[in-house]
Structure formats: C-alpha cells, structure tokens
Structure 1
Amino acid sequence: MPLTTREWQLAARPHGEPTPDDFRLVELERPDPAEGQVVVRMLAMSVDPYMRGRMNAGKSYAAAWEVGETMKGGAVGRVVASRSPAVPEGALVLADAAWRDVAVLDSRSVRVLPDLPGIPPSYHLGVLGMPGLTAWVGLFRLAGFRAGDAVFVSGAAGAVGSLVGQFARLNGASAVIGSAGTPEKVRWLLDDVGFTAAFDYHDGPVAGQLRAAAPDGIDVFFDNVGGEHLEAAIGAFREHGRAALCGAISGYNAVEPQPGPRNMFMLVTKQLSLRGFIVGDHVDLREEFEREVTRLVTSGELVVRETVREGLDQAVPAFLDLLRGGNTGKMVVRLADDEG
C-alpha cells in the first residue's frame, strides 16, 4: 500500500528574511519500498543556519532547494520496513531527509547509528553530529588550537559555538570568551558552559567589549557571525593569530553585499591566518571526533543543551526562530517518540 507522508516544500525563494509564505506543508503518497530501499519514521529533524543559503538559487556548497520540491536536511529515524540486508528493521539511522514525517529511501543513503544508552537520538543531529564535528574540525584543524591559547567564539550560545568553547576549555585554553545575543545566553555561557568571559553584542561595539574581556588579546577566533565580530577579532589578535571562519549569519538575509572588515591590513602586520571551511571536506576526522566526544558526553564533562520544538507543524517556525537567534544550543524538532 502506498505511504501517506506529510512534507514541507519550498513554495518561493525569499527576498531578505524568509517568511512562512515561503513554505508549504503537503500530503503526498509515496510507493512501497523497492528492493534495496527502507522506510524510515523520523524521530527528530535538524534546522540549521546553513539552510538559509539552500533557499537561494545558484551554486553553493550545499545544493539549493528547488521550488515545489520537498526540502532536505539532517534527520534521525527508525527503520520501520526494510528491503535491504544492510539496514535492518528497527535500526536507528541518520538521513538527509528532514522536513517530513516518513521517508522511503535508498538504503545506501542512510547511515546506521549506534544506540547509546542514556543519549537521545537527537544528539546525533547536534553534539555527536554535523555541528559537533564542525566545532571539532574548526578548532583543532583549521585554527590549530594549542593549550594556552586565548579563544574568542562568536555566536557562542549556539549549537556549534557552545561546543567550540568547551572543547577549548577542556584542552587547556588560557581563556574562552564568547559573544551572544541575550543576557540569558551570556549567563548560561558563564554559569553552565564554563566560558571565562562573555558579553551581549547588543550592549555596545563588539571591539570594545572584546577588548575589555580579553585585554591581552586573543590567539584563536571561531567565527559564526561575521561582520562586526570579524573586524573586532582581527583587531584583538596577537601576532600569528588564527581564525576558523564557519559562518556569517549576520548577513544571511542581506539583500545587498555587506561591507567587509576595515582593518584587513592587520592580517599582514600581525601575520594572521584566516581560513574558511566546509565540514564535509574533513570527514576523515569523524571517527576521532565521535570517539572522543561520545566519551565526553557519557562522562558528563560536556554540557549539552537543546531547544526543542514539538511536531512537524513547528518545523518552519523553529527554522525562522533559529535565524533570529531564538535557540540556545542545538535547535531540533521532535517528530515522534522513539519506541526503538
């Protein structure tokens, strides 16, 4: 019998900030699985800042969503029917098949995940998934973190930034400074996550607040925001400072090119290194990352927080809220209870 699914589609490409009218929730009939396919009931889906770029036409590192088609993204689910010996029924899997409640997928397109006692499946979308690997790769490979470094993280209360700060702290950083968008997030970074300093970027120029938080300068900058934060970090760097450039959410909804830092000549005078990266180019570190971070989560050394919305109907509101900074830690949408 054909499967009836509920799926979010891109209804229009946004101009500036997306609105609910740019999305459409539909019911579709999908055929029974063919040989080599599986049926996956989604448990949780991810919404991430990079998805804003997928709403635009044109070439980028992640394929654009097509108008009128179901959107894609990370999701974890249970296999409820299988016609593949490689993926048994009951398996927990990761798939690029978010924005729907059920999916019929080629078994080669899913990754079977371990069931980890006491660890929610949604952690595979955050701390043990792409955001966690992004933090690990950016800090250790791109920025070349060393014990004793002073580290500044923009967007520090998000899924990636909160982990960058903790990885640095747990590996001997001399200071970990973070910026965030609300007083509540700043308190969380200081009281729960273990940052040595944090500030609300709405309270004044970032450069001045960073100077007060790190009067002796910084060695490493992990950037999720861009714009004013990047300029401030360049000004605060000591000689041979290193930056991992992960995102620039401050400009994602801009309809005109945004001005760049005005102090770029300091890259020369301070002999700085700024490196942009795409986490998909560094999957060779995934085994190391998963081993070490699973240990940290299991031992309780790592603080993990999720902002959870309930039900597929909340996927678009969750995504739009994420773009406005409405999350602390990882934003996920819970789609079903796990009976696995």
Structure 2
Amino acid sequence: MAAPSTTKVWTLQHKPRGPVTADTFALENKPLRPLNDGEILVKLVYLSNDPAQRTWIDPSVVKERAYGPAPDEGDAMPSGFVGKVVQSKSASWKEGDLVNGLGSWSEYLVLNEKAVFPARTLEGYPTSIALSALGMTTLTAYCGLHEVGHVKPEHTVVISGAAGATGSAAVQIAKNIVGCKRVVGIAGGPEKCAWVKKLGADECLDYRSPSFEDDLVKATDGYVDVYFDNVGGSILNSMFKRMKRFSRIIACGAISGYNSRETVNMNNIFEVISMRITMQGFIVSDFMAQWPAAIEAVKKAIKEGKFTTEGTETLVKAQFDEVPQVWQRLFSGQNQGKLVTQLES
C-alpha cells in the first residue's frame, strides 16, 4: 500500500488531577516521516487498555520513579498495541507481519525494528488474544503469583479485582494451574462474582455488599497465605487483618485510587509488623526472563481446558476518534477481563 503522509494521534493535553475529563486528551493530525533503514511502518489494529496508563499521566509522577512511560503534555498517549506491518525497511519484518509492542494512541507508527516482537497468537483464537490471555496482564498474573507470591498448592490465595484482566488470569493460574487449595476472588457485583467462580474460584466476594467485611472473615477462615492486590485502598486495609503470620502480599495495582485524591486510612497496617507480612511491589518487566515459560504454561493450560479465554476479553470495536472513551470504561467497571479496543478502518 502507499504510505500515508499523516496519522491521527491522541495527545496528552492536561495531566488530570482526579478524574479524566474531556480536555485531558486532544486529537491531532501529525506528519509521518519516511522510513530509515531498520524501521517499519505499522498500522495499529488493537489497543491495550490498562489501568496503569492512568498512573503514567498523573501530575504527581516523577519521571525517574515512574511505573512506566511518563508522557509530557503534548506527547502522544502511550499504549500497548497489536499492529500490522504495512511498510518495511527491515530484514527482520515483512509487510503483513503482526507485531506487538508499546506504542501510542496513533493510527500509524514508525518504529525501530527492535521495538516490537511477534504478536503471540494461538491457532483457532482471535488475534486479540495477544493482548488478553497471552498478553502482559496474564504475564503479570503469572509472574506475580510465582516470582513474588511463591504460591504453592497448599496455599489459600485471595485476589482482588478478580473480574479484571490481571485478576481473572490470576484466579485461573492459582486454582487451575498451580492447584491452590482455596482461591477467593473479590469483585464488584453479583454477576462478576458469579463469573469469577466459573473461572475456578472457590468463592467470590462482592466488595459493594454491605456485608463485605463479615463475608471476608467467613471466606478466609484459617487466614490467607497470599493476597494478590490489584486495587489498594480500603480492601487492602481489610486484608491486612486476614493474613497469616509470614504471609505475602503481592502489590500489583491500586485502581481504587487512580482517579481519586481521597485519603484512605490504613489503620490496619500494623498487622504487617505483628504478622511479619512480606509486601512486595513489582512490574511485569522485572521478570522478562520468565516470560517464555509463562506463555508456554498458559498455552498448555488453554489447550488442556484449564485456562479459559471465554469471557476473559471485552473487545470494543471503535473509531479512532473514540479511543479515550473506550479506555475510560476501565474506571467505571464496564469491562470483564481484558478491555481491548479494535480500531475500525
């Protein structure tokens, strides 16, 4: 195809303090330069929607301490993607290749040949699986459980955000791959809780229920060996009191506070001392050496029926002009599993 000379791009205009608003992002048309040797032109097909993106654009972020890319105002909004190579001046890639990488909210990207890798696919499954069941969120769940939580079959594991992309993968890995004796999910609403139990959780608690605190005590009788925390906030505070002595908390996310400036009283944090709890934060890129083995383990589990892809992806077809609105569904509970944007031509 003839190379386009321009591309639409969503740029960060104002770093939001609190909820994202209509003037947080701006749609711009930017020129595309010709390829240099070792570069490819990629047309984006799928965009990854991740809660972590909200932390990247927070005005409080210090770049050298950032969780991921930290764009300045005026920069393109960073995002994971699956795209198709439409032009190549690289010996590594040819036109039509499907590639995966970290790019931005752009229709087209000029990229170095080393900035992408082959999209992980599985015969009989849609290409979008490269961002969901075989994507970074599943790798995050796998590496968090194994490398940080050191989960074992005899463990009782609690997973918050259990109906989200990382949480739903963690439920399946803990119960169906590791074989943990008890897995308890925490999600929002009875429908999501029912779905989490279908994934394999022994129990799933609705954090919106007025009886949540009592339900948590009952569901964790005997206490908890490993807590996979995706939400932070008041749920984390409640979980401090449910942990065993020498237990582990995997600090993966804190979505409850990403769009809020409200302070949560962590009045139970002394439990970390009294119970000698290990609480460790991590980023999936900490464990890149484990990625190939993790993907193979998940592929094997999918083929054996131990890891379902059914319902684990919310695929939204959208025009490029609608990209920010789709992403914001993450913060209003409108997704089940991984939220993926399919860009319509």
Q: CA deviation at 1:115?
A: 4.6
1:238-257 pair list within 5 angstroms: 238-255=244-261
Alpha-carbon distance in structure 2 between the residues aligned to 1:65 and 1:40:
21
Alpha-carbon distance in structure 2 between the residues aligned to 1:122 and 1:298:
17
Alpha-carbon distance in structure 2 between the residues aligned to 1:138 and 1:324:
25
Alpha-carbon distance in structure 1 between the residues aligned to 2:276 and 2:121:
46
1:13 equivalent in structure 2 = 15
Alpha-carbon distance in structure 2 between the residues aligned to 1:188 and 1:180:
10
1:109 equivalent in structure 2 = 115
Find out whether 1:215 has 2:221 as its counterpart. yes
Contact 1:310 1:335 survives alignment (8 Å)? yes
Alpha-carbon distance in structure 2 between the residues aligned to 1:314 and 1:293:
32
Alpha-carbon distance in structure 2 between the residues aligned to 1:145 and 1:18:
36
Alpha-carbon distance in structure 1 between the residues aligned to 2:339 and 2:194:
19
1:295 pairs with 286, 300, 319, which one? 300
Query: Structure 1 length normalisation: TM-score?
Result: 0.93
Distance 1:143 1:260, change over 3 A: farther
Q: CA deviation at 1:194?
A: 1.6
Structure 1 unaligned residues grouped into runs of 5+: none
Alpha-carbon distance in structure 2 between the residues aligned to 1:104 and 1:28:
12
More off after superposition, 181-190 vs 147-156:
181-190
Alpha-carbon distance in structure 1 between the residues aligned to 2:137 and 2:201:
19
2:338 pairs with 318, 330, 333, which one? 330
Find out whether 1:185 has 2:192 as its counterpart. yes
1:174 equivalent in structure 2 = 181
1:241-280 pair list within 5 angstroms: 241-255=247-261, 258-280=263-285
Alpha-carbon distance in structure 1 between the residues aligned to 2:171 and 2:120:
26
1:146 equivalent in structure 2 = 152
Q: CA deviation at 1:209?
A: 2.1
Equivalent position SS for 2:261: coil
Q: CA deviation at 1:2?
A: 4.7
Q: CA deviation at 1:254?
A: 2.4
2:328 equivalent in structure 1 = 320
Number of aligned residue pairs: 335
Q: CA deviation at 1:264?
A: 2.1
Q: CA deviation at 1:109?
A: 0.9
1:60-71 pair list within 5 angstroms: 60-71=66-77
Contact 1:2 1:32 survives alignment (8 Å)? no
1:161 equivalent in structure 2 = 167
Output one character per residue of 1:22-58: Cα deviation in whole Å (capped at 9) or x when no partner.
1112222212222111111111010100000111243
Q: CA deviation at 1:321?
A: 1.3
- Tell me the C-alpha RMSD between the 2 structures: 1.7
Amino acid at match of 1:68: G
Amino acid at match of 2:52: Y
Q: CA deviation at 1:168?
A: 0.8
Output one character per residue of 1:76-134: Cα deviation in whole Å (capped at 9) or x when no partner.
01111110001122211112123122211111211123553112222221221210111
Amino acid at match of 2:190: P
Query: Structure 2 length normalisation: TM-score?
Result: 0.92
Alpha-carbon distance in structure 2 between the residues aligned to 1:99 and 1:38:
17
Alpha-carbon distance in structure 2 between the residues aligned to 1:248 and 1:218:
20
Contact 1:37 1:107 survives alignment (8 Å)? yes
Contact 1:77 1:92 survives alignment (8 Å)? yes
Q: CA deviation at 1:205?
A: 5.9
Q: CA deviation at 1:336?
A: 4.6
Alpha-carbon distance in structure 2 between the residues aligned to 1:131 and 1:18:
23
Contact 1:92 1:115 survives alignment (8 Å)? no
1:26 equivalent in structure 2 = 28
Contact 2:172 2:306 survives alignment (8 Å)? no
Equivalent position SS for 2:184: strand
Alpha-carbon distance in structure 2 between the residues aligned to 1:268 and 1:114:
42
Contact 2:162 2:187 survives alignment (8 Å)? yes
Output one character per residue of 1:234-283: Cα deviation in whole Å (capped at 9) or x when no partner.
11112221110001111112235x33521222223222111111111111
Amino acid at match of 1:317: Q
Equivalent position SS for 1:144: coil
Find out whether 1:310 has 2:317 as its counterpart. yes
Find out whether 1:203 has 2:202 as its counterpart. no
Q: Give the share of equivalent positions with the same residue, in percent.
A: 34
Contact 1:241 1:273 survives alignment (8 Å)? yes
2:232 equivalent in structure 1 = 226
Contact 1:5 1:30 survives alignment (8 Å)? yes
1:73-152 pair list within 5 angstroms: 73-152=79-158
Q: CA deviation at 1:62?
A: 1.3
Alpha-carbon distance in structure 2 between the residues aligned to 1:113 and 1:72:
18
